[in-house]
Structure 1
């Protein structure tokens, strides 16, 4: 069972021994006796989308480096960028000239992600297409340069600030953020649970107890924005 212990949380990245060098990764799941079984790299860009080519090179190298040492590792790549809109940029430029003495970073034309017609700019589309070719790794003997799952999220900066755009990537894209964790969990279960039933006691995914205080609204716990994995039996036996 999972338990809610916020005081046990720590910040920082985890260091994984790669085939070429050690790598600090944002989110790492480690299992006793197996080592790292899942790793998620989180990247982002606030603008200057002409530099996305450099990010692609980093993504390929990081994934290859980790899979050389841990072929069964389930690797994820999550990239978030600000969806600066052309119309908002034009309106701001007309309403208030840039203040040369301001410490706030000015948004330039190269930072625009969404055109006037609502479509993404060409550099963002190219980046999406490149990342799409880096995802979809299914088996441990597949291309080590591919991620098991990847996602691209454009975050609105205008009226719905903080919300992920629903129009891009498109519904049929494998990079939709809604599919990201689902795919990671599926690859994990295939490799570490279904293919290794003798290790089930160690590798199976943990569940929340329905009696956990995390679900007690009277304690002031935050409302979850996802569906929690709740156990059907409070007294689940690890030997089943």
Structure 2
């Protein structure tokens, strides 16, 4: 079955599809909508041209003089992942910004885990190896890693997707948050590992670290329609906060491709959108659904 076309999506809808998937998690479709969320956010907030992003978000840019006007355009959307040459092997990147005559400049890798959290040790090794492979071939690439975990709370067991309860409780290996709200030790260790894998500021620094990492637990105790970010861990002010994650990616990109490479600025500078753009007025700014996103406007 071909992948669904990307669509403008809220974070809440993306997390809902992840925590309560309607398709097998082996198909990766439970995480696909988060790919679309990232690609749309890179346009609206990041100022990247949608034609340079894959998956191609359902957004068009209309140019009127100095104005850059955003329109919602489902017909413009295109799914897929970009395959690039790594230092050790080729790699399919989940979300990629590629600028003509410059190459891939920013990418985000997304992972999702619904259960078996004691296996997170393996994810640490995979994340470090993946980052090294990409940065060996593209040391200037701004690379981010965002991992979402289903916050299976021992106090509030909730079925979802292929996750089944036994006598009304989670299997012990599927618990992420222990009774009383304490994170599983494996989850705490994993969050600390991601902190150490984050913060690469200069392309001459070791290739094994990302420019930014984020860990988001998904609260699902109240069922599918009440899916939300689990705010108790990691705390919102922590280094792994997903909103801070995007800010770090933009800052790294600007340092590398704007301030340190002024000769490329005409190609690499990020756009400022007209605040009266129909996409912003009618959708993004029309309610609270996109409240975590601050559009990049003039």
Aligned to 1:183: 248
Question: What's 1:53 paired with?
Answer: 121
CA distance in 2, matches of 1:178, 1:31: 24
1: distance between equivalents of 2:116 and 2:153? 14
Partners of 2:101 and 2:282 in 1: CA distance: 38
Choose which of 140, 147, 154 in structure 1 pairs with 2:217.
154
Query: Which whole-Å deviations, capped at 9, do the CAs of 1:97-130 have from their partners, x for residues lacking one?
Result: x9xxxx9531411111111221211010011111
Return 5+ residue gaps in structure 2 as ranges. Answer: 1-67, 165-169
Alpha-carbon spacing, 1:153–1:75, altered in 2? closer, same or farther (3 Å): same
Whole-Å separation in 2 of the counterparts to 1:196 and 1:22: 27
Paired residues of 2:145 and 2:213 also in contact (CA < 8 A): yes
Offset from partner CA, 1:170-199 (integer Å, 9 cap, x none): 355311112100000000000001111221
Larger displacement relative to structure 2 (147-156 or 2-11):
2-11
- Match of residue 167 from structure 2: none
Between the aligned partners of 2:100 and 2:178, the Cα distance in structure 1 is 49
CA contact 2:275–2:281 (8 Å) conserved in 1: no
Contact 1:2/1:207 (8 A) holds in 2:
no
Which residue in the other structure is 1:224 paired with?
A: 290
**Alpha-carbon distance in 2 for matches of 1:132, 1:64:** 16
Residue 165 of structure 1, CA deviation: 1.4
Partner residue, 1:200: 265
**Closer, same or farther in 2 for the Cα pair 1:129/1:104, shift >3 Å?**
closer
Kindly state the Cα deviation for residue 169 of structure 1 after the two structures are TM-superposed.
1.0
- Structure-2 separation of matches of 1:21 and 1:192: 25
1:237 matched residue in structure 2: none
Instruction: Give the secondary-structure state (helix, strand or coil) at the position aligned to 2:238.
Output: coil
Note the residue ranges of structure 1 that are not aligned, 5 or more in a row.
93-97, 232-240
Which piece of structure 1 moves more, 209-218 or 143-152?
209-218
Quote the RMSD (CA, aligned, Å).
Answer: 2.2
Instruction: Output the CA distance in 1 between the equivalents of 2:82 and 2:100.
Output: 15
Largest Rg, 1 or 2:
1
Aligned to 1:105: 163
1:1-240 counterparts in 2 under 5 A? 1=68, 3-4=70-71, 5-89=73-157, 104-106=162-164, 107-159=170-222, 161-217=226-282, 224-225=290-291, 226-231=293-298
Over residues 48-93 of structure 1, what are the superposed CA-to-partner deviations in whole Å (9 max), with x where a residue is unaligned?
A: 001111111111111001100110100000000000111113xx7x
Matched-pair contact (CA < 8 Å) for 2:155–2:180:
no
Distance 1:86 1:147, change over 3 A: same
